[in-house]
Amino acid sequence: MNSGMDDTVVVITGASSGIGAALAELLAARGAALALVARRADALGEVAARCGEKAFAIPADVSHRDEVRRVVAGALERFGRIDVWVNNVGQGISCLPSQLTDEDIDQVMQVNVKSALYGMQEVLPHFQERGRGHVINISSMLGRMPFAVIRSAYCGAKHFLNALTATFRAEVQGTHPDIQFSIVSPGVVQTDFGLNALHGGPDSRSFPDAQSAEEVAQVIAGVIESRNPDVYTRAGAHDRVVSYYDTLAVDP
């Protein structure tokens, strides 16, 4: 049964698996029109097929600006407008901070920060022309609390993404208050994230407190409807972040 998303046009990057694929299938069931983006054309096509005739696959590598520009053009050609843009592409890295190389930092920033920046910048003129739009950036609890030492550079990238999202929101809403920029912060999710990390890593599914991709997708779908600016995917996460800094910060 559709639920309030008929004719809502949503672009989802990183849609070939994990959170992106789960979100695509959930939104399709609710009647949304979808432009699905990922590098792996075969896997992406399978997700699009499961989502039905209102889903459109656009194979692209969004860590390159020209590819993002092509996605915007393709989605507009197919659907005539974009209502929501979900920056879901991300990659972890397993490396202690003392061992990080220039190449490690460059790769993590390119995938986790620049891909989102390109999405925000390239869809912005369309949103400004319409006077309304919504960008959702998928961050991480590690973007709030850098407690996983082996994920050092990823923590930094997600902190950067959070700051970029907040400042982008402040800038754009100064003239276009109906354009929203939201952050969604999951914890560990049962996907291939850990296995696909640079330099390898533990399987995210092996952690006992990992959420399912479907559970995270439900939260993201709720953000599309609520347009809340900053949302965690698990109850109690906000209090956990506050407690983390309470144990560290000391006033002069």
Which residue do the tokens 């989102």 mark? 116
The answer to whether 35 and 48 have CB atoms below 8 angstroms apart is: no
Cα distances from 245 to residues 145, 154, 240, 242, in angstroms, run 8, 19, 9, 5
The answer to whether 199 and 95 have CB atoms below 8 angstroms apart is: yes
Task: Establish whether 118 is a catalytic residue.
Answer: no
Q: Please classify residue 166 by burial: count the beta carbons closer than 10 Å to its beta carbon, then call 0-12 exposed, 13-18 middle and 19+ buried.
A: middle
Q: Where are the beta strands (DSSP E) in 133-242?
A: 133-138, 179-185, 230-232
Catalytic hit among 118, 154, 244, 245? 154
In the numeric block, which tokens belong to residue 52? Answer: 């039905």
Gap between the Cα atoms of 248 and 159, Å rounded: 17
At residue 59, φ and ψ (nearest 5 deg) are -60, 125
Hey, how many other C-beta atoms are within 10 angstroms of the C-beta on 25? 20
Strand partners for 138: 184
Which residue do the tokens 């990080």 mark? 100
What residues act catalytically? Answer: 154
